[in-house]
Homo-oligomer: A and B are copies of this chain.
Amino acid sequence: MTPTIDEFQRARAQYPMPFTRIELAVFAVKDGKLQVLLGQRSEPPHAGKWALPGGVVRIDLDTNLDAACQRVARERLGVALTEAQQVIAVGARRRDPRAPWALSVVYRAMVRPHRLHAVAGKRLVELQWFTTEEATTSALAFDHAMLIARAVTQLRDQVSVLHFPPGLMDQTFTLGELQSASEAVLGHALDKSSFRRRLDAAQTVEPIAGEVRSGPFRPAQVYRLPG
């Protein structure tokens, strides 16, 4: 081994590293509203309070941060999160009473609620959906209310420029459904004509030729996200 490795080993012994975790902000549109999945903690600290599901980064198991996010999602929620996006890293002394210095890398993902069969993992009593309004204004565990607010802002910025996150919609959808979901995320109504004009210009959706969805009204063209 080179002297540099030795030096690292010495540095590691000398300087303890932050307690490093992943926190998941899993969003869904339910009942026409943007909601976030929280777990109720069964143990101190903050026993009884609601918190983002999360877990420790395991350098023996995870090849990188994204993989750690995937593993935590599987372990804590029992689901595979496709294409979660990093929101921010927060790290400070006294963030988490279990450690002198805690660093959390926050990820966000969107899911269709009926496709998520989330099961509460360790240290959680149960999982429950909260509107983002409720979640960001109530007393959650740790600094999670602030983290959720950050994630919501990022998500809205993305949707407002018609960059729809995977997981927002089912594989196929109508433009009416896409507009409803966008309105739920953004928290305000959109103009139909303008919405479609912008979709056209942005080329973010493509029609599936010949496929329509019917009901007691005019059938709607079915679309999908390209790629």
Contacts and interface: CB of A to CB of B under 8 A. Distances in A.
A145 to B, nearest CB: 18
Contacts of A101: 59
Nearest to A92: B64
Most buried by B among A8, A16, A56, A86: A8
A12 B99 contact: yes
Interface stretch (A17-25, A164-172, A175-183): A17-25
A91 interface: yes
Interface in A49-78: 56-60, 62-65, 68
B64 A15 contact: no
A8 B99 contact: yes
Given A44-B2, A92-B65, A98 B8 contact: yes
A160 to B, nearest CB: 13
Interface string A96-114: 0111110101000000000
Nearest to A4: B44
A20 B19 contact: no
Contacts of A206: none
Contacts of A43: 4
A45 interface: yes
Interface of A: 2, 4-5, 7-8, 11-12, 15-20, 43-45, 56-60, 62-65, 68, 86, 88-93, 97-101, 103, 105
Which 8 pairs from chain A and chain B are nearest by CB?
Answer: A64-B92, A59-B101, A89-B89, A8-B98, A17-B17, A65-B91, A4-B44, A63-B93
30 contacts: A2-B44, A4-B45, A4-B97, A4-B98, A7-B98, A8-B99, A11-B56, A15-B56, A15-B58, A15-B60, A16-B17, A16-B60, A17-B17, A18-B57, A18-B59, A20-B20, A20-B103, A57-B103, A59-B100, A62-B93, A63-B92, A64-B90, A64-B92, A64-B93, A65-B89, A65-B90, A65-B91, A65-B92, A89-B89, A91-B105
